[in-house]
């Protein structure tokens, strides 16, 4: 098999730069006694992150097959968690959006679409590794808490508003009209989305984007 592969590679004249990089990384990593000592090419890390986000089971299958060498899961975790996850507008991603806008030269490039999507998530409690905080409850703003108190009071229930478990994530993405920029600037755990909550959060994000120059 190795001889056949060597013949194929020796006759390959039209390999792209990405294909050459991929094969070089496979050879370098295979020659390491400890794979953790290998410094991966940034493009290989992007490829591994892309595969992992598309299908974790497919990523695990590739790793278990032993055919392809990929960056370890811990490395991918560090790169995909560069910013601490937080409910609401992400200050880190908003700063990235502001920095990108500051480099644009034409005014028409400042215009963007604000896209929103609601994704279902597993209703499980987990502990955040950084500070041990329990994650899973819906974090409400002051306005939402007042609405919850009012609903409980009208229905005759306990006046104490208890935070419900999140079953969806409401994500906001900025997409440039004339550029290829796509940045998720905010995400909210939600249980039951109402038009009032959607209205409040959307205008909050629009305000932050306009102050950032978008």
Are 159 and 76 found together in one domain? Answer: no
Are 109 and 144 found together in one domain? Answer: yes
pLDDT single digits (tens) 132-149: 776 666 766 665 666 666
Residues spanned by the domain of 8:
2-80
End of a domain among 30, 48, 80?
80
Total structural domains in the chain? 2
Q: What percent of the chain has pLDDT over 70?
A: 81
Are 105 and 147 found together in one domain? Answer: yes
Name the least confident of 17-26, 45-54, 100-109, 153-162.
153-162
Residue 205's pLDDT is 92
Residue 162's pLDDT is 67
Are 7 and 72 found together in one domain? Answer: yes
Are 24 and 102 found together in one domain? Answer: no
DSSP track, the chain: -HHHHHHHHHH-----HHHHHHHHHHHHHHT-SSGGG----HHHHHHHHHHHHH-HHHHHHHHHHSSS----HHHHHHHHTSS---SEE-HHHHHHHHHHHHT--SGGGG-EEEEEEEEE-----EE-TTT--EE-BPP--HHHHHHHHHHHHHTTS-SSPPPPBP-EEEEEEEEESSS--EEEEEEEEESS--HHHHHHHHHHHHHHHHHTT-
End of a domain among 32, 50, 80?
80
Is 29 within 8 Å of 38 (Cβ atoms)?
Answer: yes
**What's the chain's average pLDDT?**
81
Are 29 and 130 found together in one domain? Answer: no
Are 76 and 94 found together in one domain? Answer: no
Are 169 and 204 found together in one domain? Answer: yes
Residue 144's pLDDT is 65
Q: Tell whether the model's pLDDT for residue 11 goes beyond 90.
A: no
pLDDT single digits (tens) 51-103: 988 888 988 998 888 888 888 888 888 887 776 667 788 888 888 888 888 88
Are 38 and 123 found together in one domain? Answer: no
pLDDT (average), residues 172-178: 89
Q: Tell whether the model's pLDDT for residue 177 goes beyond 90.
A: no
Residue 174's pLDDT is 92
Are 142 and 171 found together in one domain? Answer: yes
End of a domain among 60, 80, 100?
80
Are 13 and 97 found together in one domain? Answer: no
Nearest partner of 204 among 137, 138, 116, judged by Cα: 116
Are 27 and 122 found together in one domain? Answer: no
pLDDT single digits (tens) 116-135: 998 887 766 666 666 777 66
């Amino acid at each position: 098999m190795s001889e056949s592969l060597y013949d194929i590679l020796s006759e390959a004249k039209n390999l792209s730069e990405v294909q050459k990089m991929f094969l070089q990384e496979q050879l370098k990593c295979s020659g390491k006694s400890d794979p953790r000592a290998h410094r991966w090419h940034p493009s290989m890390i992007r490829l591994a992150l892309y595969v992992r986000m598309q299908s974790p089971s497919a990523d695990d299958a590739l790793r278990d097959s032993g055919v392809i060498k990929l960056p370890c899961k811990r490395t991918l975790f560090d790169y995909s968690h560069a910013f601490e996850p937080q409910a609401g507008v992400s200050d880190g991603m908003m700063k990235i959006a502001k920095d990108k806008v500051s480099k644009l030269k034409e005014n028409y490039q400042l215009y963007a679409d604000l896209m929103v999507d609601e994704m279902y998530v597993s209703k499980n409690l987990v502990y955040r590794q950084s500070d041990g905080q329990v994650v899973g409850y819906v974090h409400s703003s002051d306005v939402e808490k007042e609405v919850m108190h009012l609903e409980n009071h009208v229905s005759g229930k306990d006046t104490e508003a208890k935070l419900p478990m999140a079953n969806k994530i409401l994500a906001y993405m900025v997409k440039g009209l004339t550029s290829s920029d796509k940045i998720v600037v905010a995400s909210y755990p939600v249980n039951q989305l109402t038009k009032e909550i959607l209205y409040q959060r959307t205008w909050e994000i629009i305000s932050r984007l306009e102050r950032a120059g978008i």
